């Protein structure tokens, strides 16, 4: 096998609690992914450009202290419920629940100390290229009902031959993210995602205005001015949110100019979702998005079993000090958050995020990196 996994110390958090850094590496392609069990976070993701030069395509920090103080969610697993819950309230099993309001007046990404701010157990490092992180979220954690057992496995592998024949790029490696959760005592909402931000120029460009993005979605969930869904599923045709053009999509810089907020922070309703497979083990992966950077020649394809993808183009990033002396600003990268729809627990017409007691919740996302066809 050319793909390996190794683990080493990564310093401490919470005043002295040690955390690990796990490296997944393919010696054939050079693709390297570094992860830490603090937040089950993708710390770095290095992949070659069209000339074979490696570059880190995700935003992040040099040391654990950066992730402790992070408010931008650079690379962690967010939950118990990713994205927003209106007023931090919902009703489940006939009882009204109030979860932490950490972005007043709403709940965001699991609360003040959600999954992104917890030290996960390193359950297993597979020397063939995988790592499993585990977490127990107690009943009442950030206000959520029920005790939840969670594990997230990252697997670095090689794409199947011919799998990306019509994608417009040559695939090199796929990082699969396998989510599994089970509630052991009561029903609870779950919506897990990884919140990595991608800039495929690997820092050569300070923004993503030259990137192209395709999203396999004919609709979005309409939102209020506070980005809370109204419940309406709104077609994107003839709007700036139509990102369905061609295999490699639209130029982001040009499209930003046509949007009211000069960027995106919206949930796209992915085509082809089957409610019968909602959160079930073995559900089929569907293409969600393709991101590419003509300048570097790098490309990324996202596939998922989730019904939606939040496209957030770093509209609110402002002078954030990052890795290797970098400073991240507005439109510095794009987060492609495969997920259930925001505030789903309060909208019966959205695919359900509720995991009942003694049931399992399963989800998979894959990130395939490569280089554009010449």
Give the per-residue pLDDT at 166: 78
Q: Is 337 a catalytic residue?
A: yes
Q: Of these residues, 107, 211, 214, 337, which one is catalytic?
A: 337
Q: Confidence class of residue 1 from pLDDT cuts 50, 70 and 90?
A: confident
Please check if 286 is assigned to a binding site. no
Please check if 211 is assigned to a binding site. no
Please check if 298 is assigned to a binding site. no
- Integer Cα distance of 187 and 44 in angstroms: 35
Q: Confidence class of residue 355 from pLDDT cuts 50, 70 and 90?
A: very high
Half-sphere exposure of residue 113: CA atoms within 13 angstroms, side-chain side: 10
pLDDT in tens, 32-61: 999 999 999 999 999 999 999 999 999 999
pLDDT in tens, 300-320: 999 999 999 999 999 999 999
Q: Is 254 a catalytic residue?
A: no
Please check if 265 is assigned to a binding site. yes
Regarding pTM above 0.95, the answer is: yes
Domains of the chain: which residue ranges?
3-372
Q: Tell which CATH architecture fits domain 3-372.
A: Distorted Sandwich (2.70)
CA 298 to chain centre: 19
- Integer Cα distance of 102 and 38 in angstroms: 20
pLDDT in tens, 216-257: 999 999 999 999 999 999 999 999 999 999 888 999 999 999
Please check if 97 is assigned to a binding site. no
Q: Of these residues, 25, 107, 195, 212, which one is catalytic?
A: 195
Residue written as token pair 């080493």: 8
């Amino acid at each position: 096998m050319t793909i390996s996994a190794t683990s080493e110390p990564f310093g401490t958090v919470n005043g002295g609690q040690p955390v690990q850094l796990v490296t997944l590496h393919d010696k054939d392609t050079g693709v390297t992914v570094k992860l830490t069990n603090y937040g089950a976070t993708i710390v770095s993701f290095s992949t070659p450009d069209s000339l074979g030069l490696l570059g880190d395509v995700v935003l992040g920090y040099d040391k654990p202290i950066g992730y402790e103080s992070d408010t931008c969610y650079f690379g962690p697993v967010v939950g118990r419920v990713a994205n927003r819950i209106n007023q931090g309230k919902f009703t489940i099993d006939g009882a009204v629940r109030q979860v932490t309001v950490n972005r007043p007046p709403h709940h965001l990404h699991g609360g003040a100390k959600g999954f992104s701010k917890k030290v996960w157990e390193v359950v297993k490092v597979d020397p063939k290229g995988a790592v499993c992180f585990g977490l127990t979220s107690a009943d009442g954690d950030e206000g959520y009902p029920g005790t939840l057992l969670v594990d997230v496995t990252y697997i670095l592998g090689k794409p199947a031959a011919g799998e990306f024949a019509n994608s417009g790029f040559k695939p090199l490696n796929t990082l699969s993210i396998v989510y599994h959760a089970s509630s052991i005592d009561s029903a609870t909402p779950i919506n897990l995602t990884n919140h990595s931000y991608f800039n495929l120029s690997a820092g050569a460009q300070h923004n993503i205005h030259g990137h192209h993005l395709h999203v396999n979605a004919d609709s979005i969930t309409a939102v209020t001015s506070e980005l809370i869904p109204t419940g309406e599923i709104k077609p994107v045709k003839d709007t700036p949110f139509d990102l369905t053009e061609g295999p490699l999509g639209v130029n982001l810089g040009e499209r930003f100019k046509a949007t009211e907020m000069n960027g995106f922070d919206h949930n796209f309703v992915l085509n082809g979702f089957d409610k019968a497979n909602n959160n079930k083990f073995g559900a089929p992966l569907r293409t969600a998005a393709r991101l590419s950077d003509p300048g570097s020649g790098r490309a990324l394809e996202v596939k998922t079993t989730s019904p939606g993808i939040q496209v957030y183009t770093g509209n609110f990033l402002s002078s954030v000090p990052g890795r290797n002396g970098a400073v991240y600003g507005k439109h510095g990268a794009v987060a492609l958050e495969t997920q259930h729809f925001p505030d789903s627990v309060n909208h019966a017409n959205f695919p359900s995020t509720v995991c009942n007691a003694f049931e399992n919740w399963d989800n998979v996302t894959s990130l395939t990196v490569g280089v554009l066809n010449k």
